[in-house]
Structure 1
Amino acid sequence: MTAGRRAVVVGGGLAGVTAALRLADAGVRTTLLESRPRLGGLAFSFPRSSPVGELSVDNGQHVYLRCCTAYRWFLGRIGGEALAPLQRRLDIPVLDAATGRAGRLRRHAAPVPLHLAAALATYPHLSPRERLAAARAALALRTLDPADPALDGADFAGWLRRHGQSPRSVAALWDLVGVATLNARAEDVSLALAAKVFRTGLLSAPGAADIGWARVPLGRLHDTLARRALERAGVTVRTAVRVRALHRLPDGGWRVGTARGEAPGAAGTVVLAVPQDQAARLLPAGALPDPERLARIGTAPIVNVHVVYDRPVLRRPFFAALGSPVQWVFDRGEAAGLGPGSGQYLALSQSAAQRDVERTGAELRARYLPALAELLPAARAARVRDFFVTRERAATFAPAPGVGRLRPGAHTNAPGVFLAGAWCATGWPATMEGAVRSGQTAAREALARLRQPHGDTPGESASVPPLNA
């Protein structure tokens, strides 16, 4: 097989695994190189020896929506659909620590936008006037085109103010959803990305925002099952291999230089599915017209607080909080392997966590345990058997106004070299969906260059599969 029919994918996160699968499925001999000892990128699991026994801990809580058609394709491709099911219907319990009131954001089977009308009309965390204003803003949001370059330079908070949204409405509704999906608050979010999230997730189809999450450790999906799928497809997977450089060969191919000199052989296609700073270091000179722009794509942190109580304190699988430092709380006991009668393991997902990421474990314990007790009365009498924190300082790219014009496409000016990663120009924020879509796009462009039929790229349809309403 010639170098032109060989590919090397650098990076074993969702983008890299997707690109490798698509290339191999099209008959390209593919090698995947990952610097870590496992696959999964920033959505992974690790073992923890806890006072309650051995746990398999996710570094962070990751969810997807029914409208995430590319990630749903990915789950199906690796055989993991049943392990990360979707809600039958969107249902988000929302607890307000300041008032003690509980509410829900729950959809009905009515057509858009009536599917959320009843939930908004009875949402106790907004006044009647705020609910009416929120409905009007949602209708106005439907008229925006996320692909409009003018929206990229505007901030979401300014648009919300111009459409009559009070600070309480922003906190109790728009940021409740936006912080979790965009990893930034409205004032720090590009209007284009906000429009993409809310139009696609809440205003495209009745069930578009139904939530899915893994009922097993993420490592079982993104490492174990993904590796198995890659190997079945004929991909050579090599972990703990750090790529240092790309070298152009006289015949026009590429040699991938590694830290220990373990070159995988000449390749006609290279996909760099790594964070933007690593891509900038690896790209050959002239590969991008403005390579410095990659350094201008900021990053944003996420902190996850993990608490194991000696008894059950939460009856729901998850909830969102208002009037509290707590954002979203998930019951992860069964997924992590917590034995029956061993208590309850809760994971707190804290996005836009620029302050928390610098706090010590002791400071976070003092901040979040009382906040949980305020939200969950049963936690007040419970004993904490384990407490620990996971931090991702560069969990996502920062969705700031203007980021759209900085995000590159998959194509580069270096023949045969392509980019993938959630930070690329997918139109989506930094989500698992965006990562998979970027891998699909990189593979599609690589196959087009090879004049290799690639069929339809799965998951890119704007439509949402039929619902069991």
Structure 2
Amino acid sequence: MAEQHDVVVVGGGLAGISAALRLADCGRSVTLVEGRPRLGGAAFSFRRGELWVDNGQHVFLRCCEAYRWLLRRVGALDQTTLQDHLDIPVLRPDGRRARLSRLPGVPAPAHLGAALARYGLLSPADRMRAARGALALRRLDPLDPALDAHTLGGYLRRHGQNDATIEALWGIVATATLNLRPDEASLALAAKVFRTGLLDSAPASDIGYATAPLGALHSQAAGDALRAAGVQVLLGTRVRAVEAGGVVHVPDVSGPGGWQADAVVLAVPHRDAFAIAPELSGTAAAPARGLGATPIVNVHVIYDRAVTDLPFAAAVGSPVQWFFDRTAGSEVRASRPGAQYLAVTVSAADDLVDVPSAAIRERFVAELARLLPAAGRAEVLDAFVTRERRATFRQAAGQAALRPAADSGLESIWLAGAWTATGWPDTMESAVRSGIRAAEAVGRVCPHDTLRFAA
């Protein structure tokens, strides 16, 4: 006879963690199964000698209410920092610098006008052009399904934007958040990013990020919170198959007949979901097989001395899109006093992901020296490359029709993950929202205490 379970959550990323916590908080008995020896999914840390390395630089905004709920729920909010007001240093290799920053107390959308007025990387004419582009974006409704047939780049050009404004302004935000260049990225998702994160509320765009290794938040703190909530957490345990009706096959754990669960939340990437539950191919979720993926490449450079006092910066006119100072959270100075650790993030990295690591290291060490003169005078103690080949689903025009609802169409099986139909880009915020949504779709989940976040 199959072992009986109430709810089984398959996948220990942010979606699975959020679903399991929400279900457990409302009295359900939950078993979470994760194939890797850690939690955290696509936002994790690993050891490289004495160094703690995040697989990539993951940021959130003040408007990311669900992710911030998760941080509070697992007791990790104090391991993050959040700006008092948006302030992005932007560098060019020719030495020119500017800041995209808002003045505290200036309401939306006037706050963006004030920021553009001081943004010296655009000419006065281009700043006026960018202001008209912002007004055009603010007229868009992210819920309008017609937007998803168009690209952000096409829309911007139809509203007077030129290559300079797209590269030095819109692309800085869009490429990082959508992991695609504006000329391919979905206008619907771009409208969500710019309306929710920048144009509708002045404080919404303030940037936050972890000050400790991501594993401390998403694996250690999350694991402690799950166990304290009564969730059975099985790490290093792979689910071989999930069948309609709530049958879960876990080799060496579930026995030959599998587990019989009242509900299963399948909180894994879309490729894995279809591999684990092939029956999904016969449901309304089937189009999600075509979501594809876009890579992100990260270049990690450790210098023998401090080369910048910036906590992070964006760059234009350079293959360096963003870099972050990860010195404090990496413990690098425990073994290398005085060293500084910079992590470069390159989104939409299709052209870079298969380049040999040696060539990537050489190119980006040189580029950092162009952006930061002190880096050219410092000794590079170490440089290495990490690659996330399937960092996000491909957030191109037409993506909305491919993203499924939480209801999988299979009896007793629900879907979670940033790739599901949250209305948000493939981000930590989307992952957490999807987990909460799947938990509430399972039913019997505190109807008097439903979590409510802004759409």
| TM-score in terms of structure 2 length | 0.95
The alignment status of 1:257 with 2:257, answered yes or no, reads no
Distance 1:163 1:440 in 2: 37
The alignment status of 1:283 with 2:283, answered yes or no, reads no
- Structure 1 runs not aligned, ≥5 long: 463-469
The alignment status of 1:318 with 2:312, answered yes or no, reads yes
The alignment status of 1:191 with 2:187, answered yes or no, reads yes
Structure 1 contact 156–190 (Cα < 8 Å) conserved: yes
1:60-71 paired onto structure 2 within 5 Å: 60-71=56-67
Which residue of structure 2 aligns with residue 295 of structure 1? Answer: 289
Distance 1:181 1:16 in 2: 22
Which residue of structure 2 aligns with residue 378 of structure 1? Answer: 374
The alignment status of 1:402 with 2:394, answered yes or no, reads no
1:139-178 paired onto structure 2 within 5 Å: 139-178=135-174
Which residue of structure 2 aligns with residue 32 of structure 1? Answer: 32
- 1:117-161 C-alpha deviation (Å, 9 max, x unpaired): 222012111111111111111111111111111101111111000
Which residue of structure 1 aligns with residue 429 of structure 2? Answer: 433
Structure 1 contact 71–459 (Cα < 8 Å) conserved: no
- 1:418-467 C-alpha deviation (Å, 9 max, x unpaired): 000000000000100000000010001002xxx443444435224xxxxx
- 1:233-262 C-alpha deviation (Å, 9 max, x unpaired): 1000001111111245xxxx5221023353
Secondary structure class of the residue paired with 1:85 = strand
Structure 2 contact 285–403 (Cα < 8 Å) conserved: no
Structure 1 contact 303–356 (Cα < 8 Å) conserved: yes
- Structure 2 runs not aligned, ≥5 long: none
The alignment status of 1:101 with 2:96, answered yes or no, reads yes
Structure 2 contact 46–53 (Cα < 8 Å) conserved: yes
Which residue of structure 1 aligns with residue 202 of structure 2? Answer: 206
- 1:389-428 C-alpha deviation (Å, 9 max, x unpaired): 1100000011100000100010122122000000000000
Question: Aligned letter for 2:97?
Answer: A
Secondary structure class of the residue paired with 1:358 = coil
Question: Aligned letter for 2:212?
Answer: V
Distance 1:457 1:19 in 2: 13
Q: Pick one of 213, 218, 221 that aligns with 2:214.
A: 218
The alignment status of 1:55 with 2:67, answered yes or no, reads no
Distance 1:323 1:456 in 2: 49
Which residue of structure 1 aligns with residue 41 of structure 2? Answer: 41
Q: Pick one of 60, 83, 86 that aligns with 2:82.
A: 86
Q: Pick one of 303, 315, 318 that aligns with 1:309.
A: 303
Q: Pick one of 124, 129, 144 that aligns with 2:125.
A: 129
Question: Aligned letter for 1:262?
Answer: S
Distance 1:270 1:388 in 2: 39
- 1:6-54 C-alpha deviation (Å, 9 max, x unpaired): 00000000000000001111111000000100000010000111xxxx1
Structure 1 contact 72–459 (Cα < 8 Å) conserved: no
Secondary structure class of the residue paired with 1:8 = strand
Secondary structure class of the residue paired with 1:356 = coil
Structure 2 contact 295–391 (Cα < 8 Å) conserved: yes
Structure 2 contact 439–445 (Cα < 8 Å) conserved: no
Q: Percent identity?
A: 53
Q: Pick one of 237, 242, 246 that aligns with 1:246.
A: 242
Segment drifting more, 55-64 vs 274-283 = 274-283
Secondary structure class of the residue paired with 1:207 = helix
Which residue of structure 2 aligns with residue 387 of structure 1? Answer: 383
Distance 1:363 1:210 in 2: 35
1:86 positional shift: 0.5
Question: Aligned letter for 1:324?
Answer: S
Which residue of structure 2 aligns with residue 466 of structure 1? Answer: none
| TM-score in terms of structure 1 length | 0.93
1:204 positional shift: 1.8
